[in-house]
Chain A
Amino acid sequence: MSDITESRKPPVATTGILGWLRMNLFSNWVNSLISLFVLYILFQFVPWILNWTIFAADFKYNFNGEEIINREMCSRVLDPENGGACWAIIYVRFYQFMYGFYPREEVWRVNLSYIMLAVAVVPLLFDNFPFRKHFLKFTYVFPVIAFFLLNGGLGLESVSTNKWGGLLVTLVLGCTGIALAFPLGIILALGRRSNLPVISMMCTLFIEFIRGVPLITLLFFGMVMLPLFLPEGIDMDGLARVLVAVTLFQSAYMAEVIRGGLQAIPQGQYEAARSIGLSYWQMNLKVVLPQAIRISIPSIVNTSIGLFKDTTLVIIVGLLDLLGIGRGALADTTWLGLAYEVYFFVSLVFFIFTFAMSRYSLYLEKKLKTGINMGAD
């Protein structure tokens, strides 16, 4: 076993592009067939899609060089054979897609919130961020600032949430839902595994009830029935009611995801923590949860992406999120019939956000080596 021979170069067919192709696309005849088929499909569709979305598309002007102000002026309506997408509908209504009906003179508040959101979230995501500690202090107060900034108060003019829309509503629902559901989910997960029967039963009931009904039902519950439980005279905002429903929904799912992580922690970890005299909370916060959450990352991101996309359901209760604004655009007689453009744009925006979330999850998994067996780590 200890023979030392001179190392030879690997065969040509296993290295370089050729090797990669052979390894990944043409390793046997079934794979080769599938690869050829997929390449054929790509060859057929990619040029067509690129042509439609970019090369033959109108952005602001049609092929006559006129600025497009209605559907009749789109190249693809004037010349169905050659015209591509008519992005003018997005261009003209970009403001609505981003902010809904937020008053134009106040829109700096939304923009400032978007920037502050980035400042609050990015240091949270990357632990090698310079001056991270100081930025994190800002992260904690950001929700309060954002609330007053967007909603008004403290000397700012109040902007009713009826005027919010588009990406603003999608982000408010997505971010708040995900951010609030995480701690709630942890508490529910711990509660469900608690030795105290009352707490465990209450948490189980809550989780099972919420998970047992569709989000739409909860949205209706929030929209229609929640006001009936509030004391006379207290008027809860429509968006806030939907937020309550979304948060409850997400926290139940989050709880189950984290419970899965908790169950994967070997009993020995609990016992070891107990034996060195840690209290219940110390044990969970310092020993169990960090490990449990680490292995739950893929599922946490998964449910978060799910929630982000589910926010489009709020159109059912009359809130106009990104998709709702898109549908509104399609109902304007000026633009009737440009459904492909609108849905393509909305999908693209959703894809950017969900893809970023999914990539970040991969980065985290790599950094924390979640895939590696816990014992051997």
Chain B
Amino acid sequence: MKKLLSIFAVTVFAFSANAGTLDDVKNRGFLKCGVTTGLAGFAAPDDSGEWAGLDADMCRAVAVAVFGDRSKVEFITTTGKSRFPTLASGEVDMLARNTTWTISRDVNLGFEFVGVNFYDGQGFMIPSSLGVSSATELDGATVCIQTGTTTELNLADFFRLNGISYEALPIETNDEGKENLFAGRCDVYTTDASGLSSTRAAAADPGKWLVLPEIISKEPLGPLVRHGDHQWGDVVRWSLNAMIIAEELGVSSENVDAQKSSNVPEVLRLLGVEGSYGEMLELAPDWAYQIIKQIGNYSESYEANVGPDTPLEIARGLNALWTQGGILYAPPFR
């Protein structure tokens, strides 16, 4: 079935994607962006029905780059199963949907991941009363684990490597894991760290739960587009990079107007004061300026949606800039 789907995906792509997506988007007048059906901090409708979150900001950034208007985007909800066919069939122009960049998705499914907007990884959550400070001390623990996921395999590997044993309590959904952990039916719940944070934030008393420091897998989440349309891929890639570079250069939505008269050459290039980078991408000269003005730099988006001041309380960690101990890194803007 998987193979069949990917063959379909490739066939459909051959028909629909050769036309320039950028032109399609411009002609249509708005961007179609695939997001989750609701994931705390990444994409969820707020009280007024506006989509908010790290991934939603990614979609808006691309809309701003193309149209200079953050509202020119239609969010299309996709599930873990429907996301790839939806992208392949051209129903959405891009996905920003908490999707892990793996070789098979990049190569075999015919997509192109254009970057990483969140470095996630599998972690462990325990009740703080357990008195454990490291996952290596979890010998003999009962672990709630979603069946049929890569997390299950990662867990087995981790415990085997450390020579300790565990008892698995198989669950189907995140909600089920949450309930089982809160009810004390398992000692540990393991899933992606961002998921653990939202689980913790939803607890009656978040202070009673602890996310252990060990991260046992790589889950780079990023936006993706269809293979073969490099012009469009570049637009999405550099919309993300512009936000990261802006943070690196200290340009934010608040000081972006003042920065237009900066004496740092890269800032001037980023904001379209010098050079013709917008033209290269077939975008307006001030496309990156508009992204920073209307959405903010990466840090602003992160802090507003998932950062330590939000209920999710996810520290920057790996997602800090490379200059600040993280691995967030964008190629130079020149």
Contact = CB atoms under 8 A, between A and B. Distances in A.
Interface stretch (B78-86, B229-237, B257-265, B321-329): B78-86
A241 B203 CA distance: 38
B140 to A, nearest CB: 30
Given A93-B47, A328-B45, A334-B46, A318 B38 contact: no
B148 to A, nearest CB: 16
Nearest to B84: A224
Interface in B202-225: 202-205
A158 to B, nearest CB: 12
Contacts of B78: 318
Interface stretch (A121-129, A194-202, A203-211, A319-327): A319-327
B154 interface: no
Interface stretch (B69-77, B238-246, B274-282, B295-303): B69-77
Nearest to B205: A80
A339 B40 CA distance: 13
Interface string A138-172: 00000000000000000000001011000000000
A333 B201 contact: yes
B198 interface: yes
Given A80-B204, A228-B8, A315-B37, A339 B49 contact: no
Interface string A297-323: 000000000000000000111111000
**Interface size of B as a range:** 35 or more
Given A223-B85, A227-B89, A327 B37 contact: yes
B177 interface: no
B39 A331 contact: yes
Contacts of A336: 40, 198, 201-202, 311
B291 interface: no
A162 B76 contact: yes
Q: Is the interface of A mostly helix, strand, loop or mixed?
A: helix
Interface string B22-49: 0000000000000011111100111101
B44 A331 contact: yes
B46 A160 contact: no
In the complex, the 4 A-B pairs of residues with the closest C-beta atoms, listed nearest first? A331-B38, A337-B202, A328-B38, A331-B44
Interface of A: 69, 71, 77, 80, 92-93, 95-96, 100-101, 160, 162-163, 220, 223-225, 227-228, 232, 238, 315-320, 324-325, 327-334, 336-337, 339
29 contacts: A96-B49, A162-B76, A220-B81, A223-B85, A224-B5, A227-B12, A227-B91, A228-B12, A232-B15, A316-B79, A316-B82, A317-B82, A319-B77, A320-B37, A320-B77, A327-B38, A328-B38, A328-B45, A329-B45, A331-B36, A332-B40, A333-B44, A333-B198, A333-B305, A333-B312, A336-B198, A336-B202, A337-B204, A339-B175
